[in-house]
C-alpha cells in the first residue's frame, strides 16, 4: 500500500478528455492495480467503457494492454500468484466479489484473441460452442444462432456450403472472423479484442474493421491495437497506456488531434514506441 | 604503417579444425553404436521369424543303415560340421559332418533324437512309402503301415489308398471329439451342478447351523437333486464308456523300420503323411494344417505339441481387461496431476514417484499383486461371498482379475506419463478460447483438452498394452499356469470367470522352452510362440502409430 502511494507521487494523474457518447458507462474501473507475483503490471487505472461504443487501447509493447483487457473477463484468474486491487463494476456489479459467477461473467463478455484459436471441430460446432456449453439441445435454435453469428461476422457467404467441415481448413482471416462469430454467438454485452488483426493481411484487416463498425452499437467493444490508423478509424474513445498506467483517455478525435500529455503526443505521432 | 609499406600478413586460419573441435568422430561413433544395436535387433527378429516360419514345413525322412547294420529312420532336423575325436590306432580325421535326426517312436526305443555322424553311415535312402504319423501321445511315429482294424474287418495296407486312410483318420477324430465333448462338457456340467448343490447346502449349514429347520429342509431338497443328478451322471458315464469301447476297437498298426510293431487307436492319429512322396502342394497342405492346429487347438504333450489357443485367448482377455482398468485410472490420475492439483512440491514428488514406478522390477509387482490382491482382497471376498467353498480358494488365489489388476498397476506409469505429456501439449490458447466462451473448467477439459490429447493418450495406452501382453514374471505369481483346464470366458453363467487361472503366451515360451522334458522337441513351438507374441506386440505398436496419426490429422491440422 505504501509503495503504491509513493508511486503516485511521481506520476501525473490520468488526463480525462470529454467522452464521446451519452448513453453512460457499462463498465467502470476504479483504482485498479494488478500484480504478477511481486511485479506490478497495472497502476491505479481509472477508466470507463461507454455503452455501445468502441474503445481502443493503445500504448507501447509491454505497457499492460492485454493485462487490462484480460482483467475485464477475469481471464487472469488462471495465472498463479496474481493479485488485484481496486474494483471493476460491470452493469452495477463488482466483478471481483466472491459471489460473482465467473462463468456467467465470461458469457457476457466475449473475447477474441490475437492469434485465431478455432477449436478442432467443424465450423458450425465452433460457432455453436457457447450454446453447447450452456446445454442447449434445440437444433433449430443452434442452426439459427450459427447463421446469425456467421452473418454478423461477415463469414456466412464464404462458409455456408461447408459448415460441417473442419474449421482448421479456413484461412487465417476467416479463422479470426470465425472466432468473432463464436464470441458473439452467445450474444454478450461486451466484446474484448486483443490485437485481432495482427496476424492478418490488409484485406482481411479491412473486413474486420468494417465488422467492428457494424457491431458497434449492439456491443460495447474494447480493442487493443498497435495500429494508430486503425485506432483512429474504428474507435470512438481511445485510451493511451504507458508502463502500466493510463496516461490519457477520451474521445478518439481529441486524443489524436490535441493530445495533452507529451507521451501521448509522441506516441500517436509515431516518435516513439 | 603505410609509410614503411609493410603490412602485417593477414592472419590465416587453418582450414582444418583440430580433432577435438570436430563433431564427426562422435557422430561416427554414435552412429556406429546405433547401427550395431539395430543390426542386432533386426537379426534377432530375422532369426525368430526364419525359425518360426519354417518350423511347420514337412521335412524329409531318411532310413539309415549304420556301419553296424542296425537300421533307423528319422526326420532330418539339421546338420553341422564337427571335429571328430581321434580314437587310438587311427590317424586323426579331418572335419566331418553330423546330422540330427528326429527318430520318433519314443515309446518303443526311448530315444527321440539322435546325432548321426556321416562316418557311421553305411547307406542312406529316402523311401517314398515311409509314413510319418503324428499322434496324441509319445510324439511322432516313423515307419510303415501294417494293418487297419475296424473292429469287424481287418484291412491290409495294399488296397488302402492314402485317401481312404485319411478318411478313416478324419472319422476317428470326429469320434474322439464326440467322446471328449461328452466327457468334458456334459459330464462336466452335471458335475458342476452336483458341486453347486453340495455348496448351497454347506452355505445353509454355515448360515443357520446344522440343527436348524432350514438346514433340514435344504438337506432333503439337496438329496433329491443329488439323486437325480447322479442318475444323469451314471447314464452319461455309461454312454461315454460305450463309445470309448467302440473307439478302442478301431485300431491301426504300424511297424518301425527295424520291425517293431505298434498298435494305436485310429482316433489317436492327429495327422499322417508320406513325407518323401509329398509334392510342393502336399507340403503346403501339411504346413497350413499345422498352422491351423497351432492357432485354434489346445496344447498336447506337456505343451510341446498342438496349439496355443488357450494362451492366445488368455493373453487377449488379460490385456483387454488390463487396458479397461488402466485407462480410466491413468487418465484420471494424469488429469488431476496436470489440470487440477496446484503445482507444488508435493505434486512434483508424486510425479517423480510415478516416473520411478516404471522402473520397479516387475516381479515386485507380482509379489505385491499376490499378497495384496489375491491373498488380501481375494481372501476377503472369499470369506464374504464364497464362505461355503473354503478352504479351497475362489478369488483367494491367482486369477485373471488379479493378473489384470497387477498389470494395470505395472503399466499405469506409462499411461500417466503419456497422458500428462499429451495434456501439457494442448496449447493454452485453446483452453483460453474455451474459457472465454463461458465454459467451465471441466467443460473445457471434456470438449477441448481431452479430444486434443487423445492421440497421445491412446499411444500411451497401446504401448502399455504391448508391455502387458509381453510380461511374464509377475504373472507367474498372480494367475498364469502351465495348463489351464478352462478358459476365463466361456458359455457357462456368468460367462466371464474372473477368478480362473489362465495361460499366456509369454509364460508358454518359458514353459515349453525351458521346463519341458524334451527341449529339442519343444523348439519349433518356442519359435512359433515367440513369433506369435512378437507379431501381437508389433501389431499393437503399429496400431498405436496408426491411431496417433489418424487422430493427429483430425485435431492438429490447420495453417496460419
Ligand atoms: N503471466 C505473466 N506473468 C508475469 N508477468 C506478466 C505476465 N503476463 C504479462 N506480464 C508482464 O506484465 C506486463 C504487461 O504485459 P502485457 O501482456 O499486458 O503487455 P501488452 O501491453 O499487451 O504488450 P503487447 O503489446 O506486447 O502485447 C509486461 O511487463 C509483462 O512482462
Ligand atoms: Mg498484448
B292 touches chain A (CB under 8 A): no
Give the nearest partner residue to B429 out of A115, A120, A182, using CB atoms. A115
Q: How confident is the model at residue A74 (pLDDT cuts 50, 70, 90)?
A: very high
The alpha carbon of residue A253 is apart from the nearest alpha carbon of chain B, in Å, by: 31
State the burial class of residue A170 (Cβ atoms within 10 Å of its Cβ: 0-12, 13-18, 19+).
Answer: buried
> What pLDDT is attached to residue B487?
80
CA dihedral A181, A183, A185, A191 (to 10 degrees): -110
**A to B CB pairs, distance under 8 Å:** 83
Least confident of A116-120, A148-152, B167-171, B386-390: B386-390
Residue pair B250/B170 in contact (Cβ under 8 Å)? The answer is no
The residues near B487 (Cβ < 8 Å, ≥ 6 apart) are B310, B313, B314, B500, B502
Q: Return the residue whose CA atom lies nearest to atom 23 of ligand 1.
A: A62
Distance CA A72, CA A75 (A): 8
Residue pair B76/B130 in contact (Cβ under 8 Å)? The answer is no
The alpha carbon of residue A114 is apart from the nearest alpha carbon of chain B, in Å, by: 10
Chain B residues with beta carbon closer than 8 angstroms to that of A73: 436
Backbone torsions φ then ψ of B376, nearest 5 degrees: -75, -75
Residue pair B436/B467 in contact (Cβ under 8 Å)? The answer is no
> What pLDDT is attached to residue A141?
93
> What pLDDT is attached to residue A106?
92
Question: B512: which 3 cell numbers?
Answer: 515349453
**For chain B, what are the domain ranges?**
9-54, 61-138, 154-279, 312-556
Look at residues B245, B242, B266 and name the one whose alpha carbon lies nearest to residue B165.
Answer: B266
CB contact under 8 A, A120 and B554: yes
Give the nearest partner residue to B451 out of A120, A130, A166, using CB atoms. A120
The alpha carbon of residue A12 is apart from the nearest alpha carbon of chain B, in Å, by: 34
CB atoms within 10 A of CB B382: 20
Distance of CA B150 to the CA centre of its chain: 39
Taking only residues 17 to 76 of chain B, the set having a beta carbon closer than 8 angstroms to any beta carbon of chain A reads none
Which ligand 1 atom lies nearest to the CA of residue A59?
Answer: 21
Crossing angle of helices B309-335/B280-296, nearest 10°? 50
Distance CA B309, CA B299 (A): 8
Report, as an integer, the average pLDDT of A56-64: 92
Report, as an integer, the average pLDDT of A98-103: 89
> What pLDDT is attached to residue B555?
66
Which ligand 1 atom lies nearest to the CA of residue A63?
Answer: 21
> What pLDDT is attached to residue A173?
86
For residue B19, the CA-to-ligand 2 centroid distance in Å is 49
Give the nearest partner residue to B560 out of A110, A132, A172, using CB atoms. A172
Backbone torsions φ then ψ of A71, nearest 5 degrees: -75, -30
Report, as an integer, the average pLDDT of A10-36: 80
Q: Residue A113: closest CA among chain B residues belongs to which residue?
A: B433
Residues with CB under 5 A from ligand 2 (ion): A 66
Q: Residue A114: closest CA among chain B residues belongs to which residue?
A: B429
A83 touches chain B (CB under 8 A): no
Q: Which of A240-249, A260-269, B201-210, B494-503 has the highest mean pLDDT?
A: A240-249
Q: Residue B444: closest CA among chain A residues belongs to which residue?
A: A133
Mutate to test the pocket of ligand 1, among A36, A43, A77, A115 (most ligand atoms within 8 A of CB): A36
> What pLDDT is attached to residue B433?
93
Distance CA B416, CA B393 (A): 34
Chain A residues with beta carbon closer than 8 angstroms to that of B447: 119, 129, 132-133
Give the nearest partner residue to A119 out of B430, B440, B557, using CB atoms. B430
Alpha helices in B113-187 (DSSP H): 162-181
The alpha carbon of residue A208 is apart from the nearest alpha carbon of chain B, in Å, by: 17
Q: Is the CATH number 2.60.120 carried by domain B61-138?
A: no
> What pLDDT is attached to residue B160?
66
Q: Return the residue whose CA atom lies nearest to atom 16 of ligand 1.
A: A64
CB contact under 8 A, A78 and B436: no
Look at residues B130, B155, B125 and name the one whose alpha carbon lies nearest to residue B141.
Answer: B130
H or E stretch covering B433: helix B428-436
> What pLDDT is attached to residue A142?
93
CB contact under 8 A, B560 and A179: no
One DSSP character per residue, B11-45 reads P---SS--GGG-SHHHHHHHHHHHHHHHHHHHHHH
B344 touches chain A (CB under 8 A): no
Taking only residues 149 to 208 of chain A, the set having a beta carbon closer than 8 angstroms to any beta carbon of chain B reads 166, 168-169, 172, 175, 179, 182-183, 186, 199
Q: Residue B554: closest CA among chain A residues belongs to which residue?
A: A120
pLDDT in tens, chain B (560 residues): 445 566 777 776 666 767 777 778 888 899 999 999 999 999 999 999 998 888 889 999 999 998 888 889 999 988 888 887 766 666 666 788 889 999 888 888 888 888 988 888 888 889 888 889 998 888 889 988 888 888 777 777 666 677 788 888 888 888 888 888 888 778 888 888 888 888 888 888 888 777 888 888 888 888 888 888 888 888 888 888 888 888 888 888 888 888 888 888 888 888 888 888 888 999 999 999 999 999 988 888 777 888 888 898 899 889 989 999 999 999 999 999 998 888 889 999 999 999 898 889 999 999 999 999 988 888 888 888 877 777 777 787 888 899 999 999 999 999 999 999 999 999 988 999 999 999 999 999 999 999 889 888 988 998 898 889 889 999 999 988 888 777 887 777 777 788 888 888 999 999 888 887 777 888 888 898 999 998 888 888 888 888 888 877 766 554 43
For residue B395, the CA-to-ligand 1 centroid distance in Å is 60
- Whether A3 has a pLDDT exceeding 60, the answer reads no
CB atoms within 10 A of CB B178: 14
Crossing angle of helices A123-134/A172-185, nearest 10°? 20
Q: Residue A127: closest CA among chain B residues belongs to which residue?
A: B437
Q: Return the residue whose CA atom lies nearest to atom 5 of ligand 1.
A: A36
The model's pTM is: 0.80
Query: Which residues surround ligand 1 with Cβ inside 6 Å?
Result: A 36, 41, 61-67, 79
Q: Residue B560: closest CA among chain A residues belongs to which residue?
A: A172
What share of chain A in percent tops pLDDT 90?
Answer: 47
> What pLDDT is attached to residue B25?
82
Question: A166: which 3 cell numbers?
Answer: 473442419
The alpha carbon of residue A248 is apart from the nearest alpha carbon of chain B, in Å, by: 28
Look at residues A116, A36, A119, A103 and name the one whose alpha carbon lies nearest to residue A76.
Answer: A36
Q: How confident is the model at residue A268 (pLDDT cuts 50, 70, 90)?
A: confident
Give the nearest partner residue to B443 out of A75, A133, A186, using CB atoms. A133
The alpha carbon of residue A260 is apart from the nearest alpha carbon of chain B, in Å, by: 36
CB contact under 8 A, A166 and B447: no
For residue A78, the CA-to-ligand 1 centroid distance in Å is 14
Chain B residues with beta carbon closer than 8 angstroms to that of A199: 560
Give the nearest partner residue to B438 out of A78, A179, A186, using CB atoms. A186
Fold observed for domain B312-556: MetI-like fold (1.10.3720)
Chain B residues with beta carbon closer than 8 angstroms to that of A183: 436-437
CB contact under 8 A, B436 and A106: yes
Biggest CA-to-CA distance, chain A: 61
Amino acid at each position: 500500500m505504501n509503495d503504491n502511494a509513493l508511486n503516485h507521487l511521481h506520476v501525473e494523474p490520468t488526463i480525462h478528455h470529454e467522452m464521446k457518447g451519452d448513453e453512460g458507462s457499462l463498465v467502470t474501473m476504479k483504482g485498479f492495480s494488478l500484480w504478477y507475483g511481486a511485479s506490478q503490471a497495472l497502476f491505479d487505472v481509472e477508466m470507463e467503457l461507454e455503452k455501445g461504443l468502441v474503445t481502443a487501447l493503445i500504448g507501447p509493447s509491454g505497457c499492460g494492454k492485454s493485462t487490462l483487457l484480460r482483467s475485464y473477463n477475469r481471464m487472469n484468474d488462471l495465472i498463479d500468484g496474481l493479485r488485484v486491487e481496486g474494483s471493476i463494476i460491470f452493469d452495477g456489479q463488482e466483478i471481483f466479489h466472491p459471489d460473482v459467477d465467473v462463468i456467467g461473467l465470461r458469457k457476457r463478455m466475449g473475447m477474441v484473441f490475437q492469434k485465431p484459436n478455432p477449436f478442432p471441430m467443424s465450423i458450425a460446432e465452433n460457432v455453436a460452442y457457447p450454446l453447447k456449453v450452456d446445454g442447449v439441445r434445440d437444433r433449430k435454435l443452434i442452426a439459427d444462432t450459427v447463421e446469425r453469428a456467421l452473418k454478423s461476422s461477415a463469414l456466412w457467404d464464404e462458409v455456408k456450403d461447408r459448415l460441417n467441415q473442419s474449421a482448421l481448413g479456413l484461412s487465417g482471416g476467416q479463422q479470426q472472423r470465425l472466432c468473432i462469430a463464436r464470441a458473439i454467438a452467445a450474444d454478450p454485452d461486451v466484446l474484448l479484442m486483443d490485437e485481432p488483426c495482427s496476424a492478418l493481411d490488409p484485406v482481411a484487416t479491412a473486413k474486420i474493421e468494417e465488422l467492428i463498425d457494424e457491431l458497434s452499437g449492439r456491443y460495447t467493444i474494447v480493442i487493443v491495437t498497435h495500429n494508430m490508423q486503425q485506432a483512429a478509424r474504428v474507435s470512438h474513445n481511445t485510451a493511451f497506456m504507458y508502463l502500466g498506467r493510463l496516461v490519457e483517455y477520451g474521445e478518439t478525435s481529441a486524443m489524436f488531434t490535441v493530445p495533452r500529455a507529451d507521451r501521448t503526443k509522441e506516441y500517436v505521432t509515431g516518435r516513439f514506441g | 604503417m603505410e609509410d614503411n609499406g609493410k603490412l602485417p600478413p593477414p592472419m590465416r586460419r587453418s582450414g582444418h579444425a583440430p580433432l577435438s573441435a570436430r563433431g564427426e568422430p562422435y557422430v561416427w561413433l554414435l552412429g556406429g553404436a546405433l547401427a550395431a544395436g539395430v543390426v542386432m535387433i533386426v537379426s534377432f527378429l530375422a532369426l525368430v521369424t526364419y525359425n518360426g516360419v519354417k518350423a511347420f514345413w514337412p521335412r524329409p525322412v531318411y532310413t539309415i543303415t549304420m556301419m553296424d547294420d542296425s537300421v533307423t529312420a528319422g526326420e532330418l532336423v539339421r546338420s553341422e560340421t564337427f571335429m571328430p575325436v581321434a580314437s587310438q590306432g587311427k590317424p586323426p580325421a579331418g572335419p566331418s559332418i553330423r546330422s540330427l535326426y528326429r527318430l520318433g517312436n519314443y515309446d518303443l526305443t526311448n530315444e527321440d533324437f539322435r546325432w548321426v555322424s556321416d562316418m557311421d553311415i553305411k547307406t542312406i535312402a529316402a523311401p517314398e512309402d515311409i509314413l510319418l504319423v503324428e499322434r496324441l501321445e509319445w510324439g511322432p511315429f516313423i515307419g510303415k503301415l501294417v494293418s487297419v482294424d475296424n473292429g469287424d474287418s481287418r484291412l491290409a495296407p495294399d488296397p488302402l489308398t492314402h485317401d481312404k486312410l485319411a478318411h478313416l483318420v478324419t472319422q476317428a477324430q470326429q469320434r474322439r471329439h464326440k467322446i471328449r465333448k461328452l466327457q468334458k462338457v456334459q459330464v462336466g456340467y452335471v458335475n458342476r451342478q452336483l458341486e453347486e448343490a453340495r455348496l448351497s447346502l454347506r452355505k445353509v449349514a454355515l448360515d443357520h447351523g446344522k440343527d436348524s429347520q432350514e438346514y433340514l429342509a435344504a438337506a432333503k431338497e439337496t438329496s433329491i437333486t443329488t439323486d437325480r443328478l447322479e442318475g444323469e451322471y451314471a447314464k452319461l458315464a455309461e454312454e461315454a464308456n460305450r463309445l470309448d469301447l467302440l473307439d478302442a476297437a478301431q485300431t491301426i498298426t504300424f511297424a518301425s523300420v527295424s520291425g517293431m510293431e505298434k498298435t494305436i487307436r485310429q482316433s489317436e492319429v492327429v495327422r499322417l503323411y508320406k513325407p518323401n512322396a509329398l509334392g510342393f502342394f502336399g507340403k503346403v497342405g501339411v504346413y497350413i494344417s499345422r498352422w491351423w492346429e497351432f492357432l485354434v487347438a489346445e496344447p498336447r504333450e506337456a505343451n510341446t505339441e498342438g496349439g496355443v489357443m488357450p494362451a492366445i485367448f488368455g493373453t487377449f482377455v488379460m490385456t483387454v481387461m488390463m487396458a479397461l482398468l488402466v485407462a480410466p485410472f491413468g487418465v484420471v490420475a494424469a488429469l488431476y496431476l496436470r489440470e487440477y492439483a496446484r503445482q507444488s512440491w508435493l505434486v512434483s514428488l508424486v510425479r517423480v514417484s510415478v516416473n520411478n514406478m516404471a522402473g520397479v522390477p516387475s516381479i515386485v509387482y507380482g509379489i505385491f499383486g499376490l499378497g495384496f490382491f489375491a491373498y488380501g482382497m481375494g481372501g476377503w471376498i472369499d470369506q464374504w461371498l464364497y464362505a461355503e467353498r473354503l478352504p479351497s480358494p475362489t478369488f483367494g488365489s491367482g486369477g485373471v482379475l488379479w493378473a489384470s489388476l497387477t498389470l494395470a498397476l505395472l503399466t499405469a506409469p506409462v499411461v500417466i506419463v503419456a497422458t500428462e505429456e499429451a495434456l501439457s501439449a494442448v496449447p493454452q490458447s485453446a483452453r483460453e478460447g474455451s474459457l472465454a466462451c463461458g465454459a467451465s473448467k471441466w467443460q473445457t477439459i471434456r470438449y477441448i483438452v481431452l479430444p486434443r490429447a487423445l492421440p497421445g493418450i491412446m499411444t500411451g495406452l497401446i504401448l502399455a498394452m504391448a508391455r502387458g501382453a509381453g510380461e511374464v514374471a509377475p504373472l507367474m505369481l498372480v494367475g498364469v499356469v502351465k495348463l489351464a483346464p478352462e478358459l476365463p470366458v466361456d458359455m457357462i453363467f456368468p460367462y466371464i470367470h474372473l477368478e480362473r487361472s489362465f495361460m499366456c503366451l509369454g509364460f508358454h515360451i518359458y514353459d515349453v522352452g525351458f521346463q519341458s522334458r524334451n527341449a529339442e522337441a519343444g523348439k519349433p513351438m518356442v519359435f512359433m510362440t515367440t513369433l506369435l507374441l512378437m507379431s501381437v506386440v508389433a501389431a499393437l505398436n503399429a496400431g498405436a502409430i496408426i491411431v496417433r496419426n489418424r487422430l493427429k490429422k483430425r485435431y492438429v491440422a490447420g495453417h496460419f
